[in-house]
Structure 1
């Protein structure tokens, strides 16, 4: 009887370890490490057809993404900052196999090789594909930025479930400089920095292909961070938001201000973005 129980427990553990698209982030302890004190924000949880992805690359988890399969953009990605250890930009763009078929392998994969494994299967029903962005006029804008990570987490940010159509001027100028500003802050002030980066979908702007709405172009991008010391006590917090336009400007916010900003886009209570508002 004890052996049977042990085997059931082992199989349950293995099923969790192999999980990638999950019912709840709380079901995968490694995935919960990207949320300060294990608190998953309420923001976006009521989004229809949302998927929770524990982002796996080279058989490890690297960050977590709440993904809107209708708009085919991320609601947010949650991560903690890592000082870069060098390494160039990943040349591949990955997709999430389990958004095509829940029984497929756990872990992001190059769309080309996924197609070789499963010939003739359309991969883009519930997620954006690299071809959607080609000649679209928009950048593949990272939410969780590759520059906030060491390899291999740096490579893992190049999944299309972590990007949104971003205005090129914003992506390459003000938003890039804001990410660099955060890098300096996190290095100087934080033992660990917990970060959320998200997008607010638009009501009527899409990347289209063959007269089909494929990928929503968000109206806004936003960022929130919680810096802690060696004892996991908060030392600094804040955030920013930017119109996804040629305006090329990032507005700085306190966490309270950012919650007020997000509240205007939903009838659901936004709630705290970090445990105890990072106080």
Structure 2
């Protein structure tokens, strides 16, 4: 009996050490997807991590992350813009390091103080050094801080698991106009707007570590009351600043289907208008 109790204690300890907010799906944070419906597997990379992005003991948004390319595939969130100050700290995801009991994003410095090494931290994700002194590329948020209504929600978007190398001129130009002007216009009259923003992997890397996406895209499904009233999307080549058109959700899904080798892409629940 004593040996059995000891065995159970060891097993419990192992389970606790492996406890994490990175899962095999988004079952722990379905509220960022309309009706809990997530994009289908056409976007899923070979080495994925489903991250319920947690900050200050609360889920803020959800990210499907590509651990090999070290960029997010997409981030899903609810559009709720606000005027809180823009945060300055950058975070990484300790659950991508390996077995530990840290449940939410931390700064690199905090993790180093806890005994992790930079080699541990950077193995499956981007780190601050990957973005230092890049020419022509910015920290491109998929879930932008400007689409969040509180300082804590904004701070959570400053995790490198929510960032891709984005063309500087695009990020500061037409994409910025879409994020702050077009989204505000299109979401008028919406009670809730669900957003999924993603990046199509490209053929080049920054510093031989982080994939530079070929395209950046975003889709939204607007609820009037509790019913989807309209949906839209955009996609832009990640190599220049230019005026890209507003698309229907169906058009965006069709474009992504072609870019993902003909595998049918479905982003939102079927109730969202195509």
Q: 1:188 deviation in Å?
A: 1.7
* Residue matched to 1:190: 190
Q: Secondary structure at the match of 1:185?
A: helix
Q: Which whole-Å CA distance do the structure 1 matches of 2:160 and 2:130 have between them?
A: 10
Q: Which whole-Å CA distance do the structure 2 matches of 1:155 and 1:38 have between them?
A: 24
Asked whether 1:238 is paired with 2:236, we answer: no
* Residue matched to 2:98: 101
Q: Secondary structure at the match of 2:84?
A: coil
Asked whether 1:71 is paired with 2:69, we answer: yes
Q: 1:249 deviation in Å?
A: 3.0
8 Å CA contact 1:207, 1:214 repeated in 2: yes
* Residue matched to 1:7: none
* Structure-2 change in CA distance of 1:199 and 1:277 (3 Å): farther
Cα deviations by residue, 1:26-82 (Å, 9 ceiling, x for unpaired): 2x1xx1000111111115553100110000001100100000111111100000011
Asked whether 1:252 is paired with 2:246, we answer: yes
Cα deviations by residue, 1:163-202 (Å, 9 ceiling, x for unpaired): 1001111001110000112442365221000000000011
Structure 1 runs, 4 residues or longer, greater than 4 Å off? none
RMSD of Structure 2 on Structure 1 (CA): 1.9
Describe how 1:66-215 pairs up with structure 2 within 5 A: 66-84=64-82, 86-122=83-119, 123-137=121-135, 138-151=137-150, 152-185=152-185, 188-203=188-203, 205-208=204-207, 213-215=208-210
State the TM-score, normalized to the length of structure 2: 0.88
Asked whether 1:25 is paired with 2:26, we answer: yes
8 Å CA contact 1:56, 1:107 repeated in 2: yes
2:57 to 49, 56, 59: 59
State the TM-score, normalized to the length of structure 1: 0.86
Q: Secondary structure at the match of 2:246?
A: strand
Cα deviations by residue, 1:226-266 (Å, 9 ceiling, x for unpaired): 00022x20111100011111243333211111111001122
Q: Which whole-Å CA distance do the structure 2 matches of 1:174 and 1:140 have between them?
A: 16
Q: Which whole-Å CA distance do the structure 1 matches of 2:192 and 2:182 have between them?
A: 12
Q: Which whole-Å CA distance do the structure 2 matches of 1:241 and 1:46 have between them?
A: 18
8 Å CA contact 2:43, 2:260 repeated in 1: no
